[in-house]
């Protein structure tokens, strides 16, 4: 389930496109707790076969620890789950304003953070344990802002758990290009939990260069990045 947190919009060729940071979030209300481990559910053995999972699908090393919703995918007749729907897409997406998906980053955010020197892969924002969030929304794309420089438009996507900001050239909505990844996190310290992002245009900047301001929820800090245009 995409379940975007932040959404930004821009126009290309007269068409409005929406850029979504697909964080994901479960409902935890009085009388409804939808988050469940896949291994705790009755999985349909005809669908979730050992061959498909490379072993028992409900095992912790397979799908067992994956956090999913218990509100969809259940067969009303058998009571078993024929499908599993996880929270968030671990990606950012571009859609038309009518809701047609034209591009999605897929697993690229996780692929690009598999071997960071400053933080363990899929660590949470409250520690630095390897794979801590691999079973639950991964890096959690949280915020997104857009900025236009010259003829190009760029998307800045904050990763709430892993930390830092991914930057993509989204001038062509159907073919975004990775530009860079910037982070001021250091292990379990530094700036943790990017929540809100804001762009300061060059004309409003104290040093004449555009800036990216990032509010970090867990560390309670604000990071300011200078955007160097080449």
Which pLDDT band holds residue 92 (cuts at 50, 70, 90)?
Answer: very high
Q: Specify the length of the chain in residues.
A: 230
Q: What is residue 28's three-state secondary structure? A: strand
Mean pLDDT of 61-80: 96
Q: Does the pLDDT at position 230 exceed 90?
A: no
Q: Please, what is the Cα angle at 136 between 213 and 185, to 5 degrees?
A: 30
Sequence ranges of the domains in the chain: 7-25+89-226, 26-86
Residue with tokens 């975004």: 176
Output the average pLDDT for the chain. 97
What pLDDT does 44 receive? Answer: 97
What pLDDT does 155 receive? Answer: 98
- Nearest CA to 89 out of 42, 144, 33, 21 is that of 21
What pLDDT does 107 receive? Answer: 97
| Cα 91 to Cα 178: distance, rounded to the nearest angstrom | 13
Per-residue model confidence as pLDDT tens digits over 42-63: 999 999 999 999 999 999 999 9
Per-residue model confidence as pLDDT tens digits over 118-147: 999 999 999 999 999 999 999 999 999 999
| Cα 207 to Cα 185: distance, rounded to the nearest angstrom | 24
């Amino acid at each position: 389930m995409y379940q975007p947190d932040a959404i930004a919009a821009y126009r290309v060729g007269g068409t409005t496109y929406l850029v979504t940071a697909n964080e994901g979030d479960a409902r935890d209300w009085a009388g409804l707790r939808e988050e469940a481990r896949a291994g705790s559910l009755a999985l349909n053995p005809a669908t979730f076969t050992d061959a498909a999972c490379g072993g028992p699908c409900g095992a912790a090393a397979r799908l067992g620890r994956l956090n999913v919703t218990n509100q969809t995918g259940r067969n009303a007749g058998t009571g078993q789950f024929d499908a599993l729907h996880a929270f968030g897409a671990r990606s950012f997406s571009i859609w038309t304003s009518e809701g047609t998906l034209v591009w999605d980053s897929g697993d690229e955010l996780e692929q690009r953070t598999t071997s960071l020197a400053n933080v363990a892969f899929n660590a949470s924002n409250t520690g630095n344990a390897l794979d801590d969030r691999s079973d639950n929304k991964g890096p959690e794309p949280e915020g997104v802002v857009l900025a236009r420089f010259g003829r190009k438009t760029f998307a800045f996507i904050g990763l709430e758990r892993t930390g830092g900001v991914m930057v993509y050239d989204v001038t062509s909505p159907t073919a975004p290009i990775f530009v860079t990844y910037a982070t001021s996190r250091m292990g379990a310290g530094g700036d943790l939990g990017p929540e809100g992002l804001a762009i300061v245009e060059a004309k409003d900047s104290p040093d004449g260069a555009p800036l990216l301001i990032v509010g970090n929820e867990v560390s309670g800090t604000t990071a300011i990045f200078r955007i160097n245009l080449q």
